[in-house]
Amino acid sequence: MIFIKKYIDWIFLLVTAIFITAHCLTDEIQPNHLLWKIAHPIEIQWFETKYLYLLTHLMPLLPIVISCLHPKIAFHQHFNRAFPALMLTAIVFLIWDYFKTIHGVWGFNPNYYTTNLFELPIEEYLFFFNMPMGILLIHEGLNTFFPFKQNFIWEKHFTSFLILFFFGVGLLHWGRAYTCITFVLCGIALLYHQFQFDSASRVRFYRTYGIGFMGFFLVNSILTGMMTKAPVVIYNPAEYLGIRLITIPLDDMAYNFLLLLMSVTLYDFKTFYSLKYKNSNKWVNI
């Protein structure tokens, strides 16, 4: 047990690497099967522009502005924590994004973005900074105005259910690249969080995710074609569950969960931003 606690970070990284390698070696992805047309409830004509994906990045600006200007939050004072957390998260997800794009798991409609950079829209690079930044600002604001440190009895059962759910859905759909990798990684990340954080920290994250979900739903509904003739992000139907909330694939909600959990976890990790804690494994106590 002492050995596991001492090397817990490396153990989880090794398990993650083994899982991803095993899946990549055994799963065959059929290219050129992207679904360009989906049923959508409405069409907004002025959304039919090459700047649509770029315009969606304006939506997280409100919490960014409020958090930077509000004297109690003063988010600029926490940027030494936020920047490395955002950078590492963005690097991991952009590498993932690149390989899934070139292998045909998903793609992007050129009618709705401005230009490509290494097979990805330039707006896609912004997405992995802009959306997590908005969530970190919401996270900091909620913890500033509504702090709590008590544990909750229901959290342990709820988290255990989520972990089993993520692993179950992912492993049962091994042949679906988006579903399997996303859900299993959610399970691994949440299990790691359970090892390293207390109950109150997870409840704070669930609260942040719940509030941030409203913004995610609005942005993702635009990207998945709820209001346009065709979606901005196009999916290979053989590689995801095929279940959509209107136009948003259920897999996207797990993907967003993982993106935000990684951002918040790194943001709250003391050793990640302070030399004072260089040789410790302590976490921020909000």
The 3-state DSSP class for residue 247 equals coil
- Residue 89 pLDDT level (bands cut at 50, 70, 90): very high
What are the angstrom distances between the C-alpha of 147 and each of 69, 195, 201?
20, 22, 11
- Number of C-beta neighbours around residue 174 at 10 A: 15
Q: What is the pLDDT of residue 76?
A: 62
- In angstroms, the CA 4 to CA 15 distance is 13
pLDDT in tens, 29-65: 776 678 778 877 788 888 899 999 988 887 666 666 6
pLDDT in tens, 269-283: 754 444 333 333 444
The whole-number average pLDDT for the span 142-151 is: 74
The whole-number average pLDDT for the span 164-188 is: 95
